[in-house]
Structure 1
Protein backbone atom coordinates (compact mmCIF):
# COMPACT_ATOMS: atom_id res chain seq x y z
CA UNK A 1 0.00 0.00 0.00
CA UNK A 2 2.75 2.49 0.96
CA UNK A 3 6.09 2.85 -0.85
CA UNK A 4 8.85 0.77 0.72
CA UNK A 5 10.83 3.77 1.98
CA UNK A 6 7.78 5.00 3.94
CA UNK A 7 7.16 1.52 5.37
CA UNK A 8 10.83 1.37 6.43
CA UNK A 9 10.61 4.80 8.04
CA UNK A 10 7.36 3.95 9.84
CA UNK A 11 8.89 0.71 11.14
CA UNK A 12 11.92 2.64 12.42
CA UNK A 13 9.70 5.15 14.26
CA UNK A 14 7.74 2.33 15.86
CA UNK A 15 10.85 0.42 16.89
CA UNK A 16 12.47 3.50 18.44
CA UNK A 17 9.33 4.48 20.32
CA UNK A 18 8.68 0.93 21.53
CA UNK A 19 12.25 0.62 22.77
CA UNK A 20 11.89 3.93 24.66
CA UNK A 21 8.42 3.02 25.98
CA UNK A 22 6.68 5.99 24.35
CA UNK A 23 3.35 6.23 22.56
CA UNK A 24 2.21 8.62 19.87
CA UNK A 25 -0.88 10.22 18.41
CA UNK A 26 -1.51 11.76 15.02
CA UNK A 27 -3.69 14.75 14.15
CA UNK A 28 -4.22 14.95 10.41
CA UNK A 29 -5.97 17.25 8.03
CA UNK A 30 -4.49 17.22 4.50
CA UNK A 31 -3.29 13.61 4.80
CA UNK A 32 -6.68 12.31 5.91
CA UNK A 33 -5.24 9.59 8.16
CA UNK A 34 -2.36 8.44 5.96
CA UNK A 35 0.26 8.96 8.69
CA UNK A 36 -1.69 6.75 11.09
CA UNK A 37 -2.26 4.38 8.19
CA UNK A 38 1.46 4.12 7.43
CA UNK A 39 2.23 3.43 11.08
CA UNK A 40 -0.57 0.92 11.62
CA UNK A 41 0.34 -0.87 8.39
CA UNK A 42 3.28 -2.27 10.38
CA UNK A 43 2.50 -5.33 12.53
CA UNK A 44 2.79 -4.62 16.25
CA UNK A 45 2.10 -0.90 15.86
CA UNK A 46 -0.55 -1.05 18.61
CA UNK A 47 2.27 -1.02 21.15
CA UNK A 48 3.11 2.55 20.10
CA UNK A 49 0.18 4.16 18.26
CA UNK A 50 -2.22 5.40 20.92
CA UNK A 51 -4.72 7.03 18.54
CA UNK A 52 -5.21 9.15 15.45
CA UNK A 53 -7.45 12.10 14.76
CA UNK A 54 -8.61 12.91 11.23
CA UNK A 55 -9.75 16.50 11.47
CA UNK A 56 -10.36 17.52 7.89
CA UNK A 57 -12.90 20.23 8.68
CA UNK A 58 -12.41 23.29 10.85
CA UNK A 59 -15.25 22.13 13.09
CA UNK A 60 -13.49 18.81 13.64
CA UNK A 61 -10.26 20.60 14.55
CA UNK A 62 -12.16 22.53 17.21
CA UNK A 63 -14.41 19.73 18.49
CA UNK A 64 -11.86 16.89 18.52
CA UNK A 65 -8.64 18.75 19.31
CA UNK A 66 -9.78 21.95 21.01
CA UNK A 67 -8.33 24.27 18.38
CA UNK A 68 -10.00 27.64 19.06
CA UNK A 69 -12.27 28.69 16.18
CA UNK A 70 -10.92 32.22 16.67
CA UNK A 71 -7.40 30.95 15.88
CA UNK A 72 -8.60 29.25 12.72
CA UNK A 73 -10.45 32.42 11.72
CA UNK A 74 -7.46 34.68 12.44
CA UNK A 75 -4.60 32.56 11.03
CA UNK A 76 -6.38 30.13 8.69
CA UNK A 77 -6.68 26.37 8.98
CA UNK A 78 -3.46 26.03 7.02
CA UNK A 79 -1.04 27.80 9.36
CA UNK A 80 1.78 27.09 11.76
CA UNK A 81 -0.34 28.21 14.69
CA UNK A 82 -3.15 25.80 13.87
CA UNK A 83 -0.68 22.94 13.30
CA UNK A 84 0.81 23.54 16.75
CA UNK A 85 -2.65 23.78 18.34
CA UNK A 86 -3.58 20.49 16.66
CA UNK A 87 -0.47 18.74 18.01
CA UNK A 88 -1.01 20.11 21.52
CA UNK A 89 -4.70 19.19 21.29
CA UNK A 90 -3.84 15.64 20.26
CA UNK A 91 -1.78 15.30 23.43
CA UNK A 92 -4.53 16.86 25.53
CA UNK A 93 -7.12 14.47 24.12
CA UNK A 94 -5.03 11.30 24.38
CA UNK A 95 -2.62 9.46 26.62
CA UNK A 96 0.17 9.70 24.04
CA UNK A 97 3.63 10.99 24.87
CA UNK A 98 4.24 12.59 21.46
CA UNK A 99 1.91 13.96 18.80
CA UNK A 100 2.41 14.97 15.21
CA UNK A 101 -0.03 17.22 13.37
CA UNK A 102 -0.31 18.21 9.73
CA UNK A 103 -2.37 20.78 7.89
CA UNK A 104 -1.89 21.96 4.35
CA UNK A 105 -3.09 22.48 0.80
CA UNK A 106 -2.74 19.19 -1.06
CA UNK A 107 -4.43 20.49 -4.22
CA UNK A 108 -5.21 20.52 -6.97
CA UNK A 109 -7.44 23.41 -5.85
CA UNK A 110 -7.43 25.63 -2.79
CA UNK A 111 -4.07 27.29 -3.17
CA UNK A 112 -3.51 31.03 -2.92
CA UNK A 113 -0.47 33.24 -3.46
CA UNK A 114 0.19 33.21 0.29
CA UNK A 115 -0.55 29.49 0.69
CA UNK A 116 0.09 27.72 -2.60
CA UNK A 117 -0.76 24.13 -3.41
CA UNK A 118 1.86 22.00 -1.69
CA UNK A 119 2.17 24.26 1.39
CA UNK A 120 2.10 22.11 4.52
CA UNK A 121 2.72 22.81 8.19
CA UNK A 122 3.91 19.96 10.37
CA UNK A 123 4.01 20.32 14.15
CA UNK A 124 5.12 17.99 16.89
CA UNK A 125 4.36 18.21 20.59
CA UNK A 126 5.95 16.32 23.45
CA UNK A 127 4.16 15.83 26.75
CA UNK A 128 5.73 18.17 29.29
CA UNK A 129 7.94 19.49 26.54
CA UNK A 130 8.00 21.87 23.61
CA UNK A 131 5.81 22.02 20.55
CA UNK A 132 7.65 22.82 17.33
CA UNK A 133 6.59 23.40 13.76
CA UNK A 134 8.03 23.77 10.31
CA UNK A 135 6.64 24.99 7.01
CA UNK A 136 7.14 23.00 3.81
CA UNK A 137 6.19 23.42 0.18
CA UNK A 138 6.11 20.05 -1.55
CA UNK A 139 6.05 19.75 -5.34
CA UNK A 140 3.79 17.56 -7.40
CA UNK A 141 0.18 16.54 -7.58
CA UNK A 142 -2.15 15.77 -4.68
CA UNK A 143 -0.81 12.25 -4.17
CA UNK A 144 2.81 13.45 -4.20
CA UNK A 145 2.10 16.23 -1.68
CA UNK A 146 0.31 13.85 0.65
CA UNK A 147 3.02 11.18 0.48
CA UNK A 148 5.76 13.77 1.02
CA UNK A 149 3.83 15.01 4.05
CA UNK A 150 3.58 11.48 5.47
CA UNK A 151 7.31 10.87 4.96
CA UNK A 152 8.29 14.19 6.51
CA UNK A 153 5.94 13.75 9.47
CA UNK A 154 7.49 10.35 10.18
CA UNK A 155 10.97 11.89 10.00
CA UNK A 156 9.87 14.62 12.41
CA UNK A 157 8.56 11.97 14.83
CA UNK A 158 12.05 10.46 14.92
CA UNK A 159 13.56 13.74 16.11
CA UNK A 160 10.63 14.77 18.34
CA UNK A 161 10.58 11.76 20.57
CA UNK A 162 11.19 12.49 24.24
CA UNK A 163 14.73 12.27 25.47
CA UNK A 164 14.10 11.84 29.19
CA UNK A 165 11.68 9.93 31.36
CA UNK A 166 8.04 10.92 31.09
CA UNK A 167 6.82 8.42 33.59
Structure 2
Protein backbone atom coordinates (compact mmCIF):
# COMPACT_ATOMS: atom_id res chain seq x y z
CA UNK A 1 0.00 0.00 0.00
CA UNK A 2 1.39 3.37 -0.99
CA UNK A 3 0.32 6.78 0.20
CA UNK A 4 1.16 10.35 -0.60
CA UNK A 5 0.53 12.49 2.47
CA UNK A 6 0.29 16.25 2.07
CA UNK A 7 0.00 18.84 4.81
CA UNK A 8 -2.70 21.24 3.65
CA UNK A 9 -4.20 24.55 4.69
CA UNK A 10 -7.31 23.43 2.80
CA UNK A 11 -8.37 20.69 0.40
CA UNK A 12 -11.48 19.52 -1.39
CA UNK A 13 -12.74 16.84 -3.75
CA UNK A 14 -15.27 17.61 -6.46
CA UNK A 15 -17.17 15.09 -8.59
CA UNK A 16 -19.34 16.28 -11.48
CA UNK A 17 -19.28 19.87 -10.13
CA UNK A 18 -20.39 18.76 -6.65
CA UNK A 19 -18.05 19.12 -3.66
CA UNK A 20 -18.02 15.77 -1.84
CA UNK A 21 -15.24 16.52 0.65
CA UNK A 22 -13.89 19.77 2.03
CA UNK A 23 -11.40 20.37 4.86
CA UNK A 24 -9.31 23.12 6.34
CA UNK A 25 -5.99 22.52 8.12
CA UNK A 26 -5.00 18.87 8.06
CA UNK A 27 -3.91 16.09 5.74
CA UNK A 28 -4.79 15.06 2.20
CA UNK A 29 -3.88 11.41 1.73
CA UNK A 30 -3.77 9.71 -1.67
CA UNK A 31 -3.93 5.90 -1.30
CA UNK A 32 -2.83 3.25 -3.80
CA UNK A 33 -3.65 -0.38 -3.07
CA UNK A 34 -2.10 -3.49 -4.62
CA UNK A 35 -3.17 -7.15 -4.53
CA UNK A 36 -0.69 -8.15 -1.83
CA UNK A 37 -1.90 -5.53 0.67
CA UNK A 38 -3.77 -6.47 3.81
CA UNK A 39 -4.66 -5.41 7.35
CA UNK A 40 -1.00 -5.39 8.41
CA UNK A 41 -0.30 -2.68 5.78
CA UNK A 42 -3.29 -0.64 6.95
CA UNK A 43 -2.28 -0.88 10.61
CA UNK A 44 1.30 0.19 9.90
CA UNK A 45 0.33 3.14 7.69
CA UNK A 46 -2.41 4.40 10.01
CA UNK A 47 0.03 4.24 12.92
CA UNK A 48 2.51 6.33 10.97
CA UNK A 49 -0.07 8.81 9.64
CA UNK A 50 -1.62 9.58 13.02
CA UNK A 51 1.72 10.11 14.76
CA UNK A 52 3.85 11.75 12.05
CA UNK A 53 4.90 15.20 13.21
CA UNK A 54 4.46 17.51 10.24
CA UNK A 55 2.63 20.47 11.84
CA UNK A 56 4.41 23.42 13.39
CA UNK A 57 4.52 23.98 17.13
CA UNK A 58 4.69 27.43 18.76
CA UNK A 59 8.38 27.65 17.75
CA UNK A 60 7.62 26.92 14.07
CA UNK A 61 9.20 23.47 14.30
CA UNK A 62 7.40 20.48 12.77
CA UNK A 63 6.69 18.81 16.07
CA UNK A 64 2.94 18.15 16.08
CA UNK A 65 0.76 15.42 14.57
CA UNK A 66 -2.66 15.76 12.95
CA UNK A 67 -4.11 14.51 16.24
CA UNK A 68 -2.22 17.15 18.22
CA UNK A 69 -3.74 19.96 16.16
CA UNK A 70 -7.18 18.32 15.86
CA UNK A 71 -6.71 18.52 12.10
CA UNK A 72 -8.99 17.24 9.37
CA UNK A 73 -8.26 14.44 6.91
CA UNK A 74 -9.34 13.64 3.36
CA UNK A 75 -8.53 10.22 1.86
CA UNK A 76 -8.64 9.73 -1.91
CA UNK A 77 -8.10 6.41 -3.71
CA UNK A 78 -5.49 6.65 -6.45
CA UNK A 79 -4.52 3.48 -8.29
CA UNK A 80 -1.99 5.44 -10.38
CA UNK A 81 0.40 5.43 -7.41
CA UNK A 82 1.28 1.90 -8.55
CA UNK A 83 2.18 2.96 -12.09
CA UNK A 84 5.07 1.05 -13.63
CA UNK A 85 7.03 3.37 -15.90
CA UNK A 86 10.13 1.34 -16.70
CA UNK A 87 9.13 0.41 -20.26
CA UNK A 88 7.78 2.76 -22.87
CA UNK A 89 5.83 5.95 -22.28
CA UNK A 90 2.45 4.56 -21.29
CA UNK A 91 2.32 3.63 -17.58
CA UNK A 92 1.18 0.15 -16.65
CA UNK A 93 -1.13 -0.29 -13.67
CA UNK A 94 -0.87 -4.07 -13.46
CA UNK A 95 0.23 -3.89 -9.78
CA UNK A 96 -2.84 -1.91 -8.72
CA UNK A 97 -5.52 -4.04 -7.05
CA UNK A 98 -8.82 -4.57 -8.84
CA UNK A 99 -11.92 -3.07 -7.16
CA UNK A 100 -13.03 -6.37 -5.56
CA UNK A 101 -9.79 -6.36 -3.53
CA UNK A 102 -9.13 -2.63 -3.32
CA UNK A 103 -12.54 -1.38 -2.14
CA UNK A 104 -12.71 -3.45 1.08
CA UNK A 105 -9.11 -2.49 1.92
CA UNK A 106 -9.80 1.18 1.17
CA UNK A 107 -12.87 1.10 3.42
CA UNK A 108 -10.93 -0.67 6.17
CA UNK A 109 -8.16 1.93 5.89
CA UNK A 110 -10.69 4.74 6.35
CA UNK A 111 -12.39 3.02 9.31
CA UNK A 112 -9.05 2.42 11.06
CA UNK A 113 -7.93 6.01 10.40
CA UNK A 114 -11.22 7.39 11.77
CA UNK A 115 -10.84 5.24 14.86
CA UNK A 116 -7.30 6.48 15.47
CA UNK A 117 -7.86 10.20 14.78
CA UNK A 118 -11.17 10.19 16.64
CA UNK A 119 -13.16 12.01 13.99
CA UNK A 120 -14.80 11.49 10.62
CA UNK A 121 -12.39 11.20 7.72
CA UNK A 122 -13.73 12.73 4.53
CA UNK A 123 -13.23 10.87 1.27
CA UNK A 124 -13.51 10.97 -2.44
CA UNK A 125 -15.53 8.28 -4.23
CA UNK A 126 -13.66 5.13 -5.16
CA UNK A 127 -13.22 4.85 -8.93
CA UNK A 128 -14.85 8.21 -9.70
CA UNK A 129 -13.36 10.93 -11.89
CA UNK A 130 -12.41 13.39 -9.14
CA UNK A 131 -11.04 16.88 -9.14
CA UNK A 132 -8.79 17.31 -6.11
CA UNK A 133 -7.90 20.83 -5.01
CA UNK A 134 -5.43 21.61 -2.29
CA UNK A 135 -3.34 24.34 -0.80
CA UNK A 136 -0.20 22.44 0.20
CA UNK A 137 1.20 24.04 3.33
CA UNK A 138 4.98 24.21 3.37
CA UNK A 139 5.01 22.48 0.96
CA UNK A 140 5.05 19.27 2.97
CA UNK A 141 4.62 16.07 0.95
CA UNK A 142 5.63 12.64 2.23
CA UNK A 143 5.49 9.31 0.39
CA UNK A 144 5.09 6.10 2.38
CA UNK A 145 5.07 2.50 1.16
CA UNK A 146 4.04 -0.25 3.57
CA UNK A 147 6.33 -2.64 1.67
CA UNK A 148 9.34 -0.47 2.61
CA UNK A 149 9.00 -0.38 6.40
CA UNK A 150 12.71 -0.83 7.06
Q: Given the two structures, how large is their TM-score scaled by the length of structure 1?
A: 0.30
Q: Per chain length, whose mean CA-contact separation is higher, i.e. which structure has more relative contact order (CA < 8 Å, sep 6+)? A: 2
Q: Which structure shows the higher helix fraction?
A: 1
Q: Given the two structures, how large is their TM-score scaled by the length of structure 2?
A: 0.32
